[in-house]
Amino acid sequence: MGMPKFNYGGQALIEGVLMRGRDAIAVAFRHPDGRIVYATERLDSGVHGKRWSKLPLVRGLVVLYETLIVGTRWLVRSASLQAADDGVELGKGSIALMLTLTLVAGIGVFFLLPLFIASVTTAIGRAFMAATFILRR
């Protein structure tokens, strides 16, 4: 019998990394003075251990939610630490502005831009087909 299979994932932080396991996360990042700061955090959100949260579609939504919330929290923490070294304090307003601009840019690049490109190419294709049809007559 083989060893049990575990899935791990991660994301980059500013001057660091976040790794996610089945039940916990671990983060490590470089402090401005050069030492490595690390921490672990259990993933024990209210829905994580529920029986229905193990259903295929629901499981993916739970993992996505946890990844977004936990990842954003640690990304902001590492950014605040690096900014403090430069004498800049990230307040709640600047963090909210950053997250809002990121959300708007993400929606623009991944939803609106492809929609615009698809509608333009569809219109060009229809015009080309109409011109071809008219010219053949």
pLDDT one-digit tens code per residue, 26-67: 999 998 888 999 999 887 766 666 777 778 888 888 878 888
Question: Are residues 44 and 72 located together in one domain of the fold?
Answer: yes
Contacts of 10 (CB under 8 A, 6+ apart): 17, 18, 19, 20
Question: Are residues 79 and 104 located together in one domain of the fold?
Answer: no
Question: Are residues 64 and 82 located together in one domain of the fold?
Answer: yes
* 13/29 Cα distance (integer angstroms): 7
End residue of a domain, out of 58, 73, 90: 90
Q: Tell me, what's the pLDDT at 107?
A: 94
Question: Are residues 45 and 82 located together in one domain of the fold?
Answer: yes
Question: Are residues 75 and 123 located together in one domain of the fold?
Answer: no
Question: Are residues 132 and 70 located together in one domain of the fold?
Answer: no
Question: Are residues 6 and 58 located together in one domain of the fold?
Answer: yes
Question: Are residues 113 and 133 located together in one domain of the fold?
Answer: yes
Q: Tell me, what's the pLDDT at 68?
A: 84
* 49/105 Cα distance (integer angstroms): 34
When comparing pLDDT for 22 and 99, which is higher? 99
Whether residue 137 has pLDDT greater than 70:
no
Q: Tell me, what's the pLDDT at 46?
A: 66
Domain tally, the chain: 2
User: What pLDDT, in 10s, does the model give residues 68-111?
Assistant: 888 888 988 888 888 887 888 888 888 889 889 989 999 999 99
Question: Are residues 37 and 79 located together in one domain of the fold?
Answer: yes
Q: Tell me, what's the pLDDT at 122?
A: 92
Phi first, then psi, for residue 16 (nearest 5°) are: -175, -170
- Domain residues for the domain of 50 are 1-90
Average pLDDT, stretch 16-29?
Answer: 90
Question: Are residues 62 and 8 located together in one domain of the fold?
Answer: yes
Using DSSP's 3-state secondary structure scheme, residue 107 falls into helix
Question: Are residues 13 and 70 located together in one domain of the fold?
Answer: yes
pLDDT band at 121 (very low <50, low <70, confident <90, very high): very high
Q: Tell me, what's the pLDDT at 104?
A: 95
Q: Tell me, what's the pLDDT at 47?
A: 65
* 79/103 Cα distance (integer angstroms): 18
Kindly report the CA angle at 48 between 41 and 59, in degrees rounded to 5?
Answer: 120
Question: Are residues 50 and 85 located together in one domain of the fold?
Answer: yes
